[in-house]
Structure 1
Amino acid sequence: MTAFLQDLGFGSATAIDVAALLLRVALGTLFLAHAWLKIFVFKPAGAAGFFRSLGLPGAFAYLTMAAEILGGLALIVGLWSSLVSILLIPVIAGAGWFAHRANGFWFNNQNGGWEYPAFWTLTLLVQALLGSGALALTAV
C-alpha cells in the first residue's frame, strides 16, 4: 500500500493518513454544501425563520451558516481538523435533535429523519480521532 501511495504522490503518507484526508475533504464539502443551501436556496432570512419555527433564536441560523462555511473550509485544507470536527458536532447533532428527531429515523421520511445527522455526527468524531491526515496545514 505504501508504494502505491508513493506512486500517487503521497510521499510517506500511510493509508490512515489518506483516509483522514478523504474523510475531512468529504465532511468539509458537505458543510459547504449545506451552507450554500441555506444561503442561496432558502436564503438567510428563510433559514432564520425555519430556526425560529423550531423554537430556536433566528440568529442561530446565521451562526450555523458561519460554522458550516468556516468549519468546512478548515476541514478541506486540514486546519486544526480534530478541534474543528469536535466544534462542529453540536451543529450537526443540533440539526438531528431539533430539525429531524420528530421525523423518525430514516432520512427519506418527510422532512428527513435523524439517521443522516447521527451518521454525520459519528463521522466528525472519527475525524477528530484520526487527525488531519495527508496534505493538511496542521497535523491535528
Structure 2
Amino acid sequence: MIDQRTAPYAATILRVSLGILFLAHAGLKLFFFTPAGTAQFFGSLGLPGFLAYIVIAVELIGGIALILGYHARVAALALIPILLGAVVTVHGPAGFFFTNPGGGWEFLALWIAGLAAVALLGEGAYAVTRRGL
C-alpha cells in the first residue's frame, strides 16, 4: 500500500535528485569537456557531432524541468532516450558493472528506472505543475 501522506514527498526527492544528476552531467559536458570536445567525442563514436549540442540542451532543460517539477512526466520520458543512447554507444560495450573499465551500464539502468518511476508517479510535492499529463 502506498502512504498517500508521504508519497508526494518521495516523488519530489526522486524528481529533484534526478534533475540534479542531469544538471551535473550537462555541466560536465559544458565546463569540463566543453561542447566542442563533447561533439568531437560523439564523432569518435560515429555519431554526428551536432548531436552533442542537442544532448547537452536536453540534459539542461530536462534537469531544470525535473527540479522545478515542470511537466516532470514529460521531462522524464524525454530524458530516457538520452540514457539509452549512452548505454548503446558508450557504456553497454563495457559490460554491466559501472566499475568496469569504461564504466558499465549499471548506473544508467538505475537512472532509467528512476525516470520511469517519475513518469508514473508525477511531479509530487512542491512542483510548478501539479497534474502532469
Q: Normalization by structure 2: what TM-score?
A: 0.93
Give the SS at the match of 1:132: coil
Runs of 4+ in 1 over 4 A off after TM superposition: none
Shift of 1:60: 0.9
Identity %: 50
Give the SS at the match of 1:30: helix
1:125 counterpart (113, 116, 119): 116
Is 1:86 matched with 2:82?
no
Q: Extract unaligned runs of 5+ from structure 1.
A: 1-12
Give the SS at the match of 1:119: helix
- How many angstroms apart in 2 are the aligned matches of 1:106 and 1:38? 23
> How many residues are paired up?
128
Larger Rg: 1
Cα RMSD, aligned residues only: 1.0
**Which residue number in structure 2 is paired with residue 59 of structure 1?**
50
Is 1:99 matched with 2:90?
yes
Q: Extract unaligned runs of 5+ from structure 2.
A: none
Amino acid at match of 2:97: W
Shift of 1:14: 2.3
- How many angstroms apart in 2 are the aligned matches of 1:53 and 1:117? 21
Q: Show the 5 A alignment for 1:107-118.
A: 107-118=98-109
Shift of 1:111: 1.5
**Which residue number in structure 2 is paired with residue 10 of structure 1?**
none
Is 1:73 matched with 2:61?
no
